[in-house]
Amino acid sequence: MLAQVSTKPAFRRAEPDTRRQSLVEACTRVLARLGVAGTSVRAIALEAGVSPGLVNHYFASVDDLVAAAYAEVGARVDAALNAALATAPTAPRARLEAFATASFAPPIADPQLLATWIAFWGLARSQPRIAAEHARQYANFRARLEELLAACGVPKAKLRRAAIGITALIDGLWLELCLSPDTLAPAEARAIVGAALDALIS
């Protein structure tokens, strides 16, 4: 009796979505390590362990891949912010502080994330797609902050400036935490933001 021959392939290629995601993640690592000047199709392909042709198969240009990477990094930050809200007490003031201080803990407070974001910021002035993604992400963050501030009783007329001011404070402290962790502790950053929030909603 002849042995049954299996028609199942000896290996499976990565699913298109999985392969695309691996290229996006490789792009973020290359941006963090080499900056904009060192980010190329060849460098990303080497990081992902694939051929440059495969990168070109999924993305029309390196600019398309960088734009996808920016959106992916923003989605990861959003997930961390959502997780902070999900575990916060239900009181409006507690939810506001949880959202406003989530940037001071991993995975957002991360030097590699900062390095990647610096590369994106550097492109925002010359690449319209990156500029548009930057504007979208910051607008969404401020809009969510406005909602949380409104729930704490901040008048509608003051919401926009309050959200801009708190966002700037968060960004500045986040930069300091990532660049100089020996100078500023996460607890200090949370206390600074907490005091600013108290001044707004008192």
First to last CA, the chain: 86
Using alpha carbons only, give the angle 77, 81, 85 rounded to the nearest 5 degrees.
165
| In a domain? residue 141 | yes
Q: Considering the chain, what is the average pLDDT of its residues?
A: 91
**pLDDT at residue 114 greater than cutoff 70:** yes
Q: Which pTM value belongs to this model? A: 0.85
Residue 25 lies in a domain: no
**Domain total of the chain:** 1
d(CA 202, CA 190): 18
H-assigned helices in 35-154: 41-48, 52-58, 62-86, 92-101, 111-124, 128-151
Residue 191 belongs to domain with CATH number: 1.10.357.10
**Domain-located, residue 119:** yes
Domain membership of residue 160 as a residue range: 68-201
* pLDDT tens for each residue of 122-140: 999 889 999 999 999 999 9
The answer to whether residue 150 is domain-embedded is yes
